Amino acid sequence: MSSSSHLFFSDVISTANQHNLKMSGFHKKSWAPNRRFGNSDEEHYFGPDDRVPRNNGAFQFRLGNRPRVSFKTERQSKSKNALLACLDDDVQMAASCNNNSRQVVLREFNSQRGRVSPSPMRGFRGGKMANKIRINLPGDRCYKIVIPYGHKYDKEYILNNLLSYMAPETFVPIMYKVGRNEANFFVDDDKEAMALSNCHQKITTTDGFKLQVKIFQLLLPYCEIDSKLKDRLKQVMSKRYVNETNALDLSKFHRDPDLADDYFCSLSRPILLKTVLDIASEHIPNLEALNLDGTRLHMLERLNVLSKKFSKLKILYIGDNWVKDIKQIDHIKDLKLEELKLTGNPVCNKYKTRQSEYISDVRRRFPKLLRLDGMELPKPILFDVADDGNKLPPSRRMFVANAKAQEIASQFLQQYFLIFDSENRQPLLDAYDEHASFSMTVSYTHNSNKLSGYLMENRNLYRVNDTNKRQKLLKQGRLSLVSFISEMPQTMHYMNTFTMDISLVTEVMMLITVTGLFKELDKKDQLLRHFNRTFIIVPEGTGYCIRNEQLHIGNPTAAQTKNLNTQMTSQEVSSPTQQAASSSSSTTPLKQPVPPQLSEAVKQQMTATLSQQTNMNIEWSLKCLEEVQWNYNNALAAFQEFFKRGQIPSEAFKK
């Protein structure tokens, strides 16, 4: 826990002492998930409630060898005996009443039925409560209990008599206030409201009058977020935090006795929930467990900030709320939860007979979940690339396990694409085996009309079902193959966009996959294309030739186009050829310098290709290649640079 957290809680504890609140320390328990306390359904890391009532009715914390802090996870209610222990047996009337005043019924409520005006519950007639009370109270509403003439009696006297009559039911009075002619308080539970309604005119006071109990359903009382309330929230949260387990218990937060006397802090109100989470994230950002049981939540959208505020949160309780749809947990699916509690929400009733489906729907959102509603789940089987120990290796433009294979493939493909981008592709006859095979496929996208020139030769086996057509689209034999390639549009490949994988290397073959971008030069709009070519090359004489090739052509993605434009801008090139030539061998796997140990046949072929592409004669083409140590790209770049400056003599073009 951070030093700021310790400072925060030490300040709050000091404030608590000023409020006559004695705190003795924190739980000395481990985080072991199998340890329980109190009710077997609750978890130990939120701790039990060790508060005991004082003689004056306030609560204090148990002192001794095992100091504890109160963390209730069950309904936080005061039992009949707990209240009786705080009261004297004989309570005298604060004032006497006569029969005349007994007949008067006072109403302090606005007679106009506005949105925030309290309205008696349906069926409440003549001061009597109906037998049925609305269940599943909305999150923005509560019950207001009004005791006419309650100002004449002590608070303890009224609460004690109500608890005595409705036993074994109990209730928690929120914001008990005494007005001019009445006493009133709030409750948020349907059962409590029903039990209180049954007390109407059933209790005879010591002066002989019948205690009236009137119930209204209305909006939650307004709760202003000011510095005073924030200090009170910090005080309550500090006693509900378990340092050893890094857990914060906010269950039934609005019923906490240190809040309920003055505030109705329902976390179903977004502004209150935000305030509480902001305080927690400021002082305990490393929180690992959070209990929001019984906090009147019905929408989980406001909890989507948990993953940002508490990156280490792995245990979350949101049981006994009013969540009705399983899709609500989508708002918190970014949490890497190991334990989740949903039981007590209406959504769980939909899965009563479909337990496996319930587990599946929840685990689909939380793949690493180990416990659900207190039930151990089978260990998940997943591939979590987010874990530090299971990260995939970084992507590489070239994957080659064999250094010798890399040298051969780089040299072979460099020569291949130089010839492919030239005006004459006939020299590629020497690059293919006599019985080579070739096929081409094309991507179908919304812009597939731009690929219409290739569609007639598309050999996509998912779309071409006719066996004869499949056979026809398969080019076999190097003469047929090179003839087809020669009819394809004139191209310029961007070699600095190439990637190369050599996935198989044996003594008799090599499998090479190359991807990248190229531009069609003989079309007016010079469209940019993406390609994927897979070659199987085999030894042939003193070199290698292609035995099988599969070419796939599609449109580049927006990201690929953007990256290419960025590279061209940064390198300040004016043409694809110059960009390809200026890219360094350290960033382009296929752009390694051709070693000087080239055969005479290869040198003659490179010289002829350069002559065709630059229109220089053979003598000057040979001279250019020799000066750059037979690096074709450098030779082409040098020619373009000097040609642009006008420094190439005219005799270089005489043939």
Cα 467 to Cα 542: distance, rounded to the nearest angstrom: 38
Identity at 139, one-letter amino acid code: G
* Both tokens assigned to 112: 């106009």
* Both tokens assigned to 283: 């002082």
* Angle, CA of 74, 76 and 79, to the nearest 5°: 110
Cα 645 to Cα 653: distance, rounded to the nearest angstrom: 16
Distances (CA, A) of 392 to 368, 386, 401, 546, 569: 19, 9, 17, 33, 32
Is residue 342 within 8 A of residue 366, CB to CB? The reply is: no
Cα 243 to Cα 28: distance, rounded to the nearest angstrom: 9
> Cα-atom radius of gyration of the chain, to the nearest Å?
41
DSSP per residue, 322-384? ----GGGGGGGTTS--SEEE-TTSHHHHTTTT-HHHHHHHHHHH-TT--EETTEE-PPP----
- In 203-329 the beta strands, taken as DSSP E runs, fall at 214-219, 241-242, 247-249, 289-291, 315-317
Is residue 280 within 8 A of residue 287, CB to CB? The reply is: yes
Q: Which residues pair with 525 in a beta bridge?
A: none
Give residue 546's pLDDT: 93
Give residue 340's pLDDT: 93
Give residue 391's pLDDT: 62
Give residue 599's pLDDT: 67
Q: How far apart are the first and last CA of the chain?
A: 83
Is residue 153 within 8 A of residue 223, CB to CB? The reply is: no
Give residue 642's pLDDT: 84
Give residue 381's pLDDT: 64
What predicted TM-score, i.e. pTM, was given to this entire model?
A: 0.46
Cα 280 to Cα 268: distance, rounded to the nearest angstrom: 17
Is residue 178 within 8 A of residue 150, CB to CB? The reply is: yes
Cα 311 to Cα 309: distance, rounded to the nearest angstrom: 6
* Angle, CA of 275, 281 and 284, to the nearest 5°: 130
DSSP per residue, 81-116? HHHHHTS-S----SS---HHHHT-----S-SS--SS
Q: For the beta carbon of residue 620, count every other beta carbon within 10 angstroms.
A: 20
DSSP code, position 167: T
User: Consecutive 10-residue runs of the chain (655 residues): their mean pLDDT?
Assistant: 46 44 35 38 55 40 38 41 37 34 33 42 41 53 90 91 90 90 90 90 89 89 87 91 90 89 88 91 91 89 90 92 90 91 90 87 89 85 52 72 83 88 87 92 68 80 84 88 88 88 89 92 81 92 90 90 81 43 38 50 79 85 85 79 83 84
Cα 16 to Cα 24: distance, rounded to the nearest angstrom: 12
